A = this chain, B = another copy of it.
C-alpha cells in the first residue's frame, strides 16, 4: 500500500553506497590511509573564497525577510538578469531574464525540463552512453522512455549513425552531457554540428521540434583551453540545464538554472511549461540566499589547476602501467578500460588494494571503470603503487 516502484528506487543500495561501506570496513581493518576512494563526484576543491565572504556581506547588508524570503517561482529578477547577461557576454547569445528559470540544482533542472517537454508514455528521450544513471530515473518520472545510443570506442564521441537511427517521430528530446560524466570527454564541434544537422533533418521530417537538453554542470571544468561548444549557437530548440555544484563547489546547496533558448520554437510556451513542471514537482523557488550568492559570484571560477594536476598525474601514470583510457578534456573523471574481461573480478582485485572504482555497467558501459579524481593529489600519489600492482596482477 505504497508505491512499489518508489520503494525499489529508494531501497536498492547504489553501487557507490556499497563502495562507501566497503571503504569504511577496509579503513577499520587496515587504516584510513589504505583506502583510496575514487567513487564520489563530490568536489574536493573548496568554494572560491568570494562565496563565503559574499554570504557574510549579504547577511550584513540585506534584511532577513528579503535574504530568506520567497523569490518568485522562476527566481529573483536580478539573479535571472545577471545569469542572462553572463550567458550573452560569454557565448554571444541574446538570452534575457525571462528565458531563465532558477532551480534547486542540476537534477531539478533535468526533472523539470523533461516534465515540461514530455507528456505521453510513448514519448522518447535519447541519451548517449556512457551516461549518468539517474537520467533513466528522471525520464521515467516524466512518464517517457529512454533510448540509449552507444559511444564510439577509443574517442567516446557518440556513434552518429546509431544516433540517426534512434530518432523517431516519438523523440521529444536528446540529452547532451559534455564535458561528460563518466568519460570526461568533451564533444567536439564536429560532433555537435553533426548531432544538430541530424536533428534538424528529423525535426523537418516529423514536422515538430526535437529539443536538445544540455546538461552542463561540468562546463567550467575543462583543461588546456579546450572549447566546449555552446549549443544555443548551433541549434534553436535548446534548453541549457546548469548547476553551480562544480563551478562554485556548492553541490549541497542545490542551485542552478534552466535557460530556454529565445530562438526555440514556442520559446515562451516552453518556458511556461518549465514553470508549470517546477510547480507540479513541488519546487516553490530555488534557495533564496544562494540565488543572491549566484548573482554576486557567477563570474568566479573553481581552482581548475588542482583538478588538472590530478588528471595529468593519474592519466600519465595509468597509461604507463598499461591501462587504456581516453584522455579526458573536462570534468573530474577518468573512464578506464578494465584489464582482463571480467568487470566484477577487476573491481574485486582493485578493492582488495583499497582502490574504490565505480563499474562502468552503472553507466551503461560495461568493461570500464570510472575514477573520480576530485580527491587530494596526495591520495592519488599514494594510490599509484596499488594501480601498478593491479596491472601487474594481469600480466
Query: Which of A247-255, A319-327, A345-353, A382-390 lines the interface with chain B?
Result: A247-255
CA distance A251 to B66 in the complex (A): 10
Q: Is the CB of A68 within 8 A of B250?
A: yes
> When the two chains form their complex, are residues A105 and B284 in contact, meaning their CB atoms are under 8 A apart?
yes
Q: Are B273 and A3 in contact (CB under 8 A)?
A: yes
Which residue on B lies nearest to A41, using beta carbons? Answer: B70
- Are A6 and B116 in touch, CB under 8 angstroms? yes
Tell whether A59 is near chain B: CB-to-CB under 8 Å. yes
Say whether A10 contacts B46, CB under 8 Å.
no
Cross-chain contact A3 with B119 (CB below 8 angstroms)? yes
CB-based contact A3/B118 at 8 Å:
yes
Among A208, A276, A278, A283: residue with most chain B CB under 10 A? A276
- Give 1 or 0 for each of A29-69: 1 = CB within 8 Å of chain B CB: 00000000000001111110001100110010001110111
Select which of B6, B107, B269, B279 is within 8 A of A282 by beta carbon: B107
> Within 8 Å of chain B (Cβ to Cβ): is A285?
yes
Whether A242 is near chain B, meaning CB under 8 Å from some CB there, is no
Interface presence of A7 (CB below 8 A): yes
- Cα distance A44–B69 in the bound complex, in angstroms: 9
Name the residue among A7, A8, A52, A251 with the largest chain B CB count within 10 angstroms: A7
How many A residues have CB within 8 A of the partner chain? Answer: 82
Identify which of B51, B140, B208 contacts A280 (C-beta below 8 A).
B140
Residue contact B276 to A7, C-beta cutoff 8 Å: yes
Q: Choose one: B2, B68, B280, B284; the contact of A269 (CB below 8 Å).
A: B2
CB of A290 closer than 8 Å to a CB of B: yes
Complex interface: chain B residues within 8 A of A2 (CB): 116-117, 119, 266, 269-270, 273
B42 adjacent to A63 (CB under 8 Å): no
In the complex, residue of chain B having the shortest beta-carbon distance to the beta carbon of A207: B1
Least CB distance, A37 to chain B, in whole angstroms: 14
Distance in angstroms from A179 CB to nearest chain B CB is 19
Residue A90 lies at the interface, judged by CB distance under 8 Å to chain B: no
Q: Is A108 an interface residue (CB 8 A)?
A: yes
Contact residues in B for A45 (Cβ distance below 8 Å): 65
**A68, A107, A253 interface centre (most CB from chain B within 10 Å):** A68
Interface string of A95-120 (1 = CB under 8 A from B): 00000000011011111100111110
Q: Given A208-B1, A252-B288, A269-B7, decide whether A68 and B56 contact each other with a Cβ distance below 8 A.
A: no
| Interface CB pairs A-B, < 8 A, 20 | A1-B209, A1-B265, A2-B117, A3-B117, A6-B116, A42-B70, A43-B69, A47-B64, A51-B68, A52-B59, A68-B251, A68-B253, A71-B252, A111-B280, A112-B282, A138-B282, A140-B280, A253-B287, A254-B254, A281-B281
